Amino acid sequence: MDIASIVGLVMAVGLIFWSMLSGSAPISVFYDLPSVLVVIGGASGAVIICFPLKTVLNLPGVVKKVFLNKTESVPALIEQLVSLAETARRDGLLALEGRLGEVKNSFIRLGVQMAVDGTRPEAIEDIMRTEIDATATRHRDGKAMMDQIGRFAPAFGMIGTLMGLIMMLADMSDPSSIGAGMAVALITTLYGAIVSNVFCIPFAEKLSFYNKQELVRLEIIVRGIMAIQSGENPRVVEQKLNTFLPPKLRPKEEAA
Amino acid sequence: MDIASIVGLVMAVGLIFWSMLSGSAPISVFYDLPSVLVVIGGASGAVIICFPLKTVLNLPGVVKKVFLNKTESVPALIEQLVSLAETARRDGLLALEGRLGEVKNSFIRLGVQMAVDGTRPEAIEDIMRTEIDATATRHRDGKAMMDQIGRFAPAFGMIGTLMGLIMMLADMSDPSSIGAGMAVALITTLYGAIVSNVFCIPFAEKLSFYNKQELVRLEIIVRGIMAIQSGENPRVVEQKLNTFLPPKLRPKEEAA
Amino acid sequence: MDIASIVGLVMAVGLIFWSMLSGSAPISVFYDLPSVLVVIGGASGAVIICFPLKTVLNLPGVVKKVFLNKTESVPALIEQLVSLAETARRDGLLALEGRLGEVKNSFIRLGVQMAVDGTRPEAIEDIMRTEIDATATRHRDGKAMMDQIGRFAPAFGMIGTLMGLIMMLADMSDPSSIGAGMAVALITTLYGAIVSNVFCIPFAEKLSFYNKQELVRLEIIVRGIMAIQSGENPRVVEQKLNTFLPPKLRPKEEAA
Amino acid sequence: MDIASIVGLVMAVGLIFWSMLSGSAPISVFYDLPSVLVVIGGASGAVIICFPLKTVLNLPGVVKKVFLNKTESVPALIEQLVSLAETARRDGLLALEGRLGEVKNSFIRLGVQMAVDGTRPEAIEDIMRTEIDATATRHRDGKAMMDQIGRFAPAFGMIGTLMGLIMMLADMSDPSSIGAGMAVALITTLYGAIVSNVFCIPFAEKLSFYNKQELVRLEIIVRGIMAIQSGENPRVVEQKLNTFLPPKLRPKEEAA
Amino acid sequence: MDIASIVGLVMAVGLIFWSMLSGSAPISVFYDLPSVLVVIGGASGAVIICFPLKTVLNLPGVVKKVFLNKTESVPALIEQLVSLAETARRDGLLALEGRLGEVKNSFIRLGVQMAVDGTRPEAIEDIMRTEIDATATRHRDGKAMMDQIGRFAPAFGMIGTLMGLIMMLADMSDPSSIGAGMAVALITTLYGAIVSNVFCIPFAEKLSFYNKQELVRLEIIVRGIMAIQSGENPRVVEQKLNTFLPPKLRPKEEAA
């Protein structure tokens, strides 16, 4: 659960709603279904063209990640790898099979399983790194989609406003309707700006931050698995992996 | 057939049309031939200056590719190369000639033909890599053209709107025609925004994605042909080429 | 105390206020609470989504640094390191413990303490460099936050203006209120432009300058501590560290 | 003669003129001498400040190149170099002097002359590469000038429009002249957009394309001259230089 | 004296003034002191925050350099270094002391003085390169300041215009003053555009050009001094330094 994402979103959306409510006009002036469809639908259509279908279908998962990213702690991760290294050192690689049940991280499980199966070290590393690359690409595509929606939403907002203005200007026989016509025309630009600045751009930034963090964790796991596989001393494994931690978070004996 | 490109385009264009139809004004207010000519013609003129004639004439092919890109599956490609490697290993390089008929990919055919002809390995690799470079350049030029039209269309939209406003402002003797004059003036900006955001920018993104994919396929083919030519064991060829695949798509024995 | 930051800020803010006061309208026309909340609150909300909570909570410290950055002089820093090197050379590393009290810079203290504790040189350097990396990341995040607020403030200014315009246009029954309505609508755009151009962008630039300076100082300290630890001749230590100074600031004998 | 540049320019300019003529207003409303001077003169002034005088005076040559670039064919170039290599191999380097008259390319002549004069190979290569660098710099400056005019023209268009609006707004005693005043004010923005999008940006792109092509040709010449000077076998020279050609354009025996 | 900078500036400023004078409104409509203060003062304030005080105080020198840059000719520079090399070779390094009086370039004097003082070659090179780095940084900061003013001036122009519009809109009791109010409001945007496009951006470009040129000259001097110090043959020194010249400017014997 990402508190910052929720607090920030509630804050931005709340203030916009409060501001709409506190004005003299009824809040209904801010709602117009065709405008919603042009901005959201148009931007979605453009983004669907941009990416392969598989990537587009991944969008709900991408959005979910902004709010529910599991921030597995790095020290706990290192602890688990060191504990697996102890088992491997004491009872042999095959003993790791009995501990697979308690490992939740599927990437660790993949590595341990391959070690237990006796896969060659180079093959293990190659497969894990290919998996990391695929993860990085999937993450990058997720962020890129957010960036693109954030770019197309204002553009379709402008397209909607231009259409509204043209319709209004083409028929000005009833002067009293001009204001309302322009109000409706501007709504798409407002929608585009909100979709882009309240949702897409901040989401893309948060995803970019998570991606960097996730890649560090995957790198730690690969190095841990390789060390376990080669039967290294658990203390050495710990020291190696701890170099990924800022000194404050390192256990005391490291500095000694 | 690229479903995503078609779905996205139908969605974006459809919503814009539906929005035009659902307005109070007749849809004819959105059509103005001189405006079409200024935006499409002007942007085309600018793009024709930018690129050499040969590249410009390639534009229809570029657009077609957004919708009809043949996404040859990578595993099938590897399978075919491995099968050719088996023939070469069992019956010699010359036996590949008999199988040329069943190979549809012209780049594989080029490589196999050279191997059959006894061309030196360095010459084969050099020629195939030069071909890849030429393909990459052609693709990059195609995407660049889309990007440029997407950049010039809004600019010529603005030029058209400025011309329309100047004409309208220069003669305001009939106040009742001002609205209609401005409506017509704004149409070019609308056209420019639609050409750019519904067609050119998304098309350029999709092309960029296809180009990356195509270059991976060509790289796989070059490595496959070189391995075939040197008479490598088909199993080794398969393992080498499979490293281009994400682990999920690799055949099982690879992980063993 | 950063004089330039204060002078510049007083100058920009003062001129804007003076200009508001010297106009014919009462200054109260420039104040609108909902507008403040939409721009400041909305931009804050968006930035809170962008970054992890820990980084966001660091914002007051970041702003404080623009004005109160302690610009420890580099020659004084070198002098202190050379003096510590003399003590270490004359009386041994352990003698440094007695001098820890007079060292204010916590990064030097960290290094000296590790040297006194007999930590291995590679571990000292590794820990100090990890600390530098963490500092660089923290600084970069601080600047990035300023940049993002400077980017979101005008966007939320535009969102506020669009909302104001839509409310005004939706109800134009009282023509005399149109001007005031538009005035209020424009206030958010004004706020966004001021927040961005008077505060965020200049602050981000100043932070970027300080960050570069700080990293040079940390680099000098690491090299100084490593030289002290290895018991180098204090004169050699001085010469090495002086290469970070422009020739004008170097003590005379260096050039001899 | 660059057909594409001419066709594109005629197309863009023609459509703009046709659109001006087909409007209801007389075409004279689009002409205003002070506006021409502010946009063209102002942008020229800014560009003259940007560059050293020598570069600015080169502008007419730069524009001419967009239309009259001599696209010497690369195969013909290679053929000539191979023919010179044959003469040098058969009759010695001095025999090349007799063939200088038939060589039109001044860069080949420079190289051959130095070879005939017995200049050391390193000096020949050094001088030719310095010449290539100078050519690249000259080309880059030419493109940069076009880019800058394309950037300043719209800026001075906006300056002109602001001046026109201020003049119009300062004196609104005669309401009937407001429209005409705004029309004139907008003309500079129109001029700026046309100068930039019809001329400067497309010209800069075309120059950039020619520059890349020209540098390939110069590189081929340097390698050819160095091979001739060292008395290499003309067949080997041909093979080496042909690697710059796409396979389709290479003579047949290369692939054998 | 930089003719191009002066001609370009006179041309751009002159055309703007002429255009203001040739309009129907008195030129006084373009002058408004508060607007000058908001744009110039506000942008200055923002830039003062961005940079350390020392850099800001260097601004007048930066501007002066756009017009008075001493373009010492490179061939003359090389000639002087070769002449010093001859003296050093013939009469020994100490004899250079007698020639220091005729050397105007302070960077050459610094180098020669150190050579005469018997400073170690590595120390000479180190000190001279540190000086070059400092010069490059100073130049880069100068250009960066121009760029920043060019970025803040239009921003403060917009801030001023928004303030003017808000004041005007808040009190529309006297319709006849609306035009004049808008005219004044637009003046700050005009000032911002002129400051940025007529002065700052072109000045920054010219500085960037001079900086590149200056760094080449300093590099030549360092290499010359190092060659003189090591007592190299003056002819070899000349040849080495001439490689910085385009072939056309090299003395004849080089090509022989």
Q: What is the torsion angle, in degrees rounded to the nearest 10, for the CA atoms of residue E195, residue E199, residue E200 and residue E202?
A: 140
Are the beta carbons of D205 and B51 separated by less than 8 Å? yes
Q: Mind giving me the DSSP string for chain B? A: --HHHHHHHHHHHHHHHHHHHHSSS-GGGG--HHHHIIIIIHHHHHHHHHS-HHHHHTHHHHHHHHHH-----HHHHHHHHHHHHHHHHHH-GGGGGGGGGG---HHHHHHHHHHHTT--HHHHHHHHHHHHHHHHHHHHHHHHHHHHHHHHHHHHHHHHHHHHHHHHHH--SSGGGHHHHHHHHHHHHHHHHHIIIIIIHHHHHHHHHHHHHHHHHHHHHHHHHHHHHTT--HHHHHHHHHTTS-GGGS-GGGG-
DSSP code, position C145: H
Task: Determine which of B73-82, B144-153, C16-25, E66-75 has the lowest per-residue pLDDT on average.
Answer: E66-75
Cα separation of B68 and B3, whole Å? Answer: 9
Q: Quick check: E42 contacting C, CB < 8 Å?
A: yes
> What is the pLDDT confidence band of residue A246, given thresholds at 50, 70 and 90?
confident
What pLDDT score was predicted for residue D239?
85
Q: Which of B3, B190, B243 sits opposite A166 (nearest CB)?
A: B190
Report, as an integer, the average pLDDT of E62-91. 88
Cα separation of A69 and A66, whole Å? Answer: 6
Chain C (65-104) residues lying within 8 Å, Cβ to Cβ, of chain A: none
Q: Please name the chains neighbouring D, where neighbouring means 3+ C-beta pairs under 8 angstroms.
A: B, E
What pLDDT score was predicted for residue C255?
42
Of A140, A146, A139, the closest CA to residue A203 belongs to: A146
Task: Determine which of B174-178, C154-158, E62-66 has the lowest per-residue pLDDT on average.
Answer: B174-178
Q: Please name the chains neighbouring A, where neighbouring means 3+ C-beta pairs under 8 angstroms.
A: B, C
What kind and span of H or E run contains A58? none
- Spatial neighbors of D102 by CB under 8 A, at least 6 apart, are none
User: What is the overall mean pLDDT for chain E?
Assistant: 89
Q: Are D231 and D121 in contact (CB under 8 A)?
A: no
Q: Quick check: B48 contacting A, CB < 8 Å?
A: no
Q: Quick check: E228 contacting C, CB < 8 Å?
A: no
pLDDT digits (tens, 9 = 90+) for E185-221: 999 999 999 999 999 999 999 999 889 888 989 999 9
Both ends of chain D: CA-CA distance in Å?
37
ipTM of the complex: 0.87
Distance to chain E for D167, nearest Cα, Å: 6
Residues of E in contact with C10 (CB under 8 A): 45
Are the beta carbons of C19 and E127 separated by less than 8 Å? no
Cβ neighbours, 10 Å, residue C97: 13
> What is the pLDDT confidence band of residue C108, given thresholds at 50, 70 and 90?
very high
Are the beta carbons of E186 and D166 separated by less than 8 Å? yes
Task: Determine which of A43-52, A62-71, A97-106, E141-150 has the lowest per-residue pLDDT on average.
Answer: A62-71
D–A contact: 3+ Cβ pairs < 8 A: no
Angle at A227 between CA A221 and CA A229, to 5 degrees: 100
Which pTM does this prediction carry? 0.90
Q: Quick check: B182 contacting A, CB < 8 Å?
A: yes
What pLDDT score was predicted for residue B31?
93
Distance to chain B for D117, nearest Cα, Å: 36
Are the beta carbons of B50 and D205 separated by less than 8 Å? yes
What pLDDT score was predicted for residue C134?
85
What pLDDT score was predicted for residue D255?
42
Q: What's the Rg (C-alpha) of chain E?
A: 26
pLDDT digits (tens, 9 = 90+) for B70-120: 767 888 899 999 999 999 989 988 899 989 888 888 899 999 999 999 888
Q: Quick check: E156 contacting C, CB < 8 Å?
A: yes
Distance to chain C for E2, nearest Cα, Å: 30
Q: Which of D45, D160, D172 sits opposite E12 (nearest CB)?
A: D45
Residues of A in contact with C171 (CB under 8 A): 24-25, 179
Are the beta carbons of C172 and A179 separated by less than 8 Å? yes
Residue B251 has pLDDT above 80, yes or no: no
Cα separation of A60 and A146, whole Å? Answer: 11
Cβ neighbours, 10 Å, residue B232: 16
- CB burial class (10 A; 0-12, 13-18, 19+) of residue E168? buried
Q: At what angle are helices D234-242 and D74-91 packed, to 10 degrees?
A: 160
Residue B174 has pLDDT above 60, yes or no: yes
In total, the C-beta contacts within 8 angstroms joining chain B to chain D are 139
Q: Which of C7, C179, C246 sits opposite E172 (nearest CB)?
A: C179
Q: Quick check: C12 contacting E, CB < 8 Å?
A: yes
Residue C252 has pLDDT above 60, yes or no: no
| Best mutation target, C9, C10, C11, C15, to test chain E (most E CBs within 10 A) | C15
Residue E255 has pLDDT above 70, yes or no: no
| Best mutation target, E163, E168, E184, E196, to test chain C (most C CBs within 10 A) | E163
Are the beta carbons of C29 and E114 separated by less than 8 Å? no
Of D47, D45, D75, the closest CA to residue D62 belongs to: D47
Q: Is the dihedral of CA E117, E123, E129, E131 positive or negative?
A: negative
Are the beta carbons of C197 and E152 separated by less than 8 Å? yes
What pLDDT score was predicted for residue A191?
97
Question: In 3-state terms, chain A is what percent helix, strand and coil (to 5)?
Answer: 85, 0, 15
Q: Which of D183, D206, D247 sits opposite B169 (nearest CB)?
A: D183
Residue C126 has pLDDT above 70, yes or no: yes
Q: Are B108 and B226 in contact (CB under 8 A)?
A: no
Q: Is the dihedral of CA B128, B130, B136, B139 positive or negative?
A: negative
Q: Are E87 and E223 in contact (CB under 8 A)?
A: no
Q: Are A157 and A190 in contact (CB under 8 A)?
A: yes
What pLDDT score was predicted for residue B11?
95
> What type of residue sits at position B120?
R
Q: Quick check: C207 contacting E, CB < 8 Å?
A: no
Angle at E182 between CA E177 and CA E185, to 5 degrees: 125
Cα separation of B118 and B113, whole Å? Answer: 9
- Give A179 or B37, the one with higher predicted confidence: B37
Q: Quick check: B191 contacting A, CB < 8 Å?
A: no
> What is the pLDDT confidence band of residue C231, given thresholds at 50, 70 and 90?
confident
pLDDT along chain D (256 residues), means of 10: 89 94 87 93 95 89 87 86 92 90 89 90 88 88 94 97 93 81 94 97 94 90 92 87 76 49
What pLDDT score was predicted for residue A252?
56
Q: Are B103 and B112 in contact (CB under 8 A)?
A: yes
Q: Which two tokens stand for residue C28?
A: 């109260």
B–D contact: 3+ Cβ pairs < 8 A: yes
Percent residues over pLDDT 70 in chain B: 96
Residues of D in contact with E247 (CB under 8 A): 127, 130-131, 134
> What is the pLDDT confidence band of residue E172, given thresholds at 50, 70 and 90?
confident
Q: Quick check: D55 contacting B, CB < 8 Å?
A: no
Report, as an integer, the average pLDDT of B227-248. 84
HSE, CB side, 13 Å, CA atoms: give it for residue D3.
Answer: 5
Residues of B in contact with D3 (CB under 8 A): 53
Q: Quick check: B186 contacting A, CB < 8 Å?
A: yes
**CA-nearest residue of chain C to E157?**
C193
Q: Which of C7, C182, C246 sits opposite E134 (nearest CB)?
A: C246
What pLDDT score was predicted for residue D252?
56
What pLDDT score was predicted for residue B181?
87
Q: Mind giving me the DSSP string for C165-184? A: HHHHHH--SSGGGHHHHHHH
- Give A131 or B252, the one with higher predicted confidence: A131
| Best mutation target, C33, C36, C50, to test chain A (most A CBs within 10 A) | C50
Cβ neighbours, 10 Å, residue B235: 13
Q: Are A5 and A66 in contact (CB under 8 A)?
A: yes
- Give A31 or D255, the one with higher predicted confidence: A31
Residue C103, by phi and psi: left (phi above 0), alpha (psi -120 to 50) or beta? beta
Q: Quick check: C189 contacting E, CB < 8 Å?
A: yes
Percent residues over pLDDT 90 in chain A: 52
